Structure 1
Amino acid sequence: MKYFTIEELCRSTTAEHKGIDNRCSKEVAVNLTALVDNVLDPLRTWYGKPITVNSGYRCPVLNKAVGGAATSQHMSGQAADITTGDRGQNKLLFEYIHKSLPFDQLIDESDFAWVHVSYRADGKNRKQVLKL
């Protein structure tokens, strides 16, 4: 983990405002580490500029509070929503991940307002690409 931390991937303003404990288990930390080592750090190295994690790990209570899917990979530490702060640059991130990195799901959220990317440490990555 070169550019991202477990703390950063567990940070949530919603959790802070609602008093939700969003600390992760060791099992979730293993998944977050795999996501960073295989996708986020290589992406950041290629991009050469900071990438913000809007949402990483979400405990079930936080996931419900933000309206996340009942089966969201955020709850297992396998997913992150990322942004550069610019839709055009987010599209570049999306395209690079799609062409060059391993992933389970890659989602263009709201015309590149942010990018959702997930990774399964067990290697059973579907390479599923969606637009929401």
Structure 2
Amino acid sequence: MESKHKYFSLAELLRSETAEKRGIPNVPSADVVAELHRLMDYLDSVRENYGAPIRVSSGYRSPALNAAVGGKPTSQHLKGQAADLVTDDLKKLGNVIRRFGGFDQLIYEHVGGARWIHVSIAPEGRPPRGEVLYITK
């Protein structure tokens, strides 16, 4: 499936340093790829509204990769519906996403010295929850 996305690519959402280092396959099914394209549509809109580069630090995760990084078994990363985002101004990015809406979950995460924003879309046919959470570990 050729990418029609302006700012994000399938390769970017599949790339994982952990998978590369540990030799864990991170290959999605066709259904997950379709969800990743829906996610990229959403992320492109967020990027347009944000007006500055956004990097994906984690996108799709195979079950083995999700287990290796300590992800929850119900993680939307497994379904191609979530991405962890990094940029120079996470507060601004979070505000843009909140104003833009349409998200299922928006999670501000601060783990150790790392900070990122997790954003997910709702499964097809289900309205987004618009849930905002803060996680500090």
| TM-score with structure 1 setting the length | 0.91
- What stretches of structure 2 of length at least 5 have no aligned partner? none
* TM-fit CA distance, 1:91: 1.1
Where does residue 27 of structure 1 map in the other structure? 31
Q: CA RMSD in A?
A: 1.5
Once residues 60 and 96 of structure 1 are traced to their aligned partners in structure 2, the CA distance between those partners, rounded to angstroms, is 31
Deviations 1:59-100 (A, max 9, x none): 00000000001110000000000011x3xx111111111111
**Counterpart check, 1:114 vs 2:121:** no
Relative contact order, higher structure (CA 8 A, sep 6+): 1
Q: Which moved more, 1:20-29 or 1:62-71?
A: 20-29
Q: Is the 8 A contact 2:46 2:100 kept in 1?
A: no
Once residues 51 and 23 of structure 1 are traced to their aligned partners in structure 2, the CA distance between those partners, rounded to angstroms, is 23
What is the percentage of aligned positions where both structures have the same residue?
51
- What stretches of structure 1 of length at least 5 have no aligned partner? none
Q: Taking structure 1 as reference, are residues 71 and 11 closer, same or farther at Cα in structure 2, changes over 3 Å only? A: same
**Counterpart check, 1:44 vs 2:50:** no
Q: How many residues align?
A: 128
Q: Is the 8 A contact 1:35 1:120 kept in 2?
A: no
| TM-score with structure 2 setting the length | 0.88
Deviating beyond 6 angstroms after TM superposition, the runs of 4 or more aligned structure 1 residues are none
